Structures are given as structure tokens and as C-alpha cells.
Amino acid sequence: MTKTIEIQNLKKTFPVNIKKNQGALAKLLDIITGKKLISKKIVLENISFDVEEKEIIGLIGKNGAGKSTLLRVIAGIYKKNDGKLKTNGEVTYLNGFNTGLKDRLTMKENIFLMGSILGLSQKQIKNKFEEIVEFSGLGENSYDKIYQFSDGMIARLAFSITIHCLKQNTPDIILLDEIIFGSSADLEFQERAITKMEELIKSGATVIISSHNLELIKKYCSKVIWLDKGKIKKIGEPEPIIKEYENEALQS
């Protein structure tokens, strides 16, 4: 099968100001002597794995393990510091559904704006407009500005725009970073949203899901990558790895 993601010995570091609390005189002396105030923190190290076409992979690990950083490197949001990374096809990274909404624009204007950002033509957005509005349940608010919306209304609108636009132009690789619905929308909408997310996951794209929802990982993923302190601890079938992960969490 075709490999859509190939990663070998990937490394990612971030700069850290190790002297940010030093006094003004010490800082001045560092500037005069040319000493660097910046060190580097290794966030990902020796990351190697491949993902096959249409494969659905789960990414698990504690907060700070490097999951979001890894997805952002794959998406091209962050640049790697070392190693090899190759993606075959269009990549979409999602870590929330309110990115791009503008408070001072109306709901209708935001639909056209976000649709354009997500790669749709004005004609495609126009054809999808009624479907987006109907799914959001906000038809009476089309000409209201976003700052007038509650958090729940914003979540409903942003999700509806994103999911319908992605279904119009499904990317080759979808990276989902803890995006399954939280408490900002009502339960009825959450259920409909999860159904739509399931359709996206099963769309035929290659998918990597980073989530603390282990039942979600078990349900959809054929393979799991367990990250721990920026390194891969284990790769394999979901059931045994998740069981070991849960046992370790209980002991810590």
C-alpha cells in the first residue's frame, strides 16, 4: 500500500530563555560578552513511524507528551529540527472549530470567510450555505454578529462550517487534535456532531487522532502510538497498548 506519512528520526526543539529571571546588570553583561540567553528544550526525539493510505492511527499520552507538537510538525505548522518527514497529499490539521471566526462579522459573512479559508469557492460555499445553517440550528441568527453569540452558538456554527467544508473537499490526510465535542454545545447537538465526525473519520482519508478519549481510539483506530516525554514508548494494536497505558496511569 501507499505510504501517506513517512517519519524517520524526527526531532523538534523549542527555544527556552534560561536566564529570564536574572537581574538587569547580569543581562547587560551577557549582551556585552555575547553570551546567549537562549537554550533549547527537546520536545520530540527519535520519532519514527509510517502511516499507510486510509489508515486510522491513534495517538495517546499524557499532557505534555508531545502529541500536539507532533501533529503540528506533520501539518507543517512547526518546522522539524532534524530527521525526515514526508507527506503524500493534502494535509488538514484540526484542533478546534472556532479558529477563523471574526467577532465583528455576521454569521453569514463568517460562513463565506471560513469556507474560503477551508478551500471552497464562493459558488461552493453558496451551494453549502443552507446545509451549514440548517445543521447549526441558527437560521434565525444569520445576520447577527458573532460577538452577540453564546459560546454554545459559536461552537455549533464553527463545527457546522468546518465539517461541511471538509466533506466538500476531503483532504488526503486529516490530523484531529482533541477535537471531539466538549460541553460548550447542548447534548443533542453533540450527538449529531459526533455522527458527523464519524463520517469524516470514515471518509477514506488517512487519519491520525490524538485524544484522551481511549474508547474513541479503540473504536476507530487500527494502530496506536504511545508518546511519553517526547519519545515513542510503544506502537501496536490498540487493545494491549491502551490497557498498559491505563494500568500505568493508575499506578502513577
- Calculate mean pLDDT across residues 59-72: 95
Question: pLDDT category, 197, cuts 50, 70, 90?
Answer: confident
What residue ranges define each of the domains in the chain, with the CATH number in brackets? 3-90+209-251 (3.40.50.300), 107-205 (no CATH)
Question: pLDDT category, 22, cuts 50, 70, 90?
Answer: low
Report the Cα–Cα distance between both ends of the chain, in Å, rounded.
40
**pTM exceeds 0.75 for this model:** yes
Of 92 and 36, the structure prediction assigns the larger pLDDT to 92
- Please report, rounded to a whole number, the percentage of residues in the chain having pLDDT higher than 90: 60
- Calculate mean pLDDT across residues 183-211: 82
Is the pLDDT at 47 greater than 80, yes or no? yes
pLDDT value at residue 127: 95
Of 70 and 159, the structure prediction assigns the larger pLDDT to 70
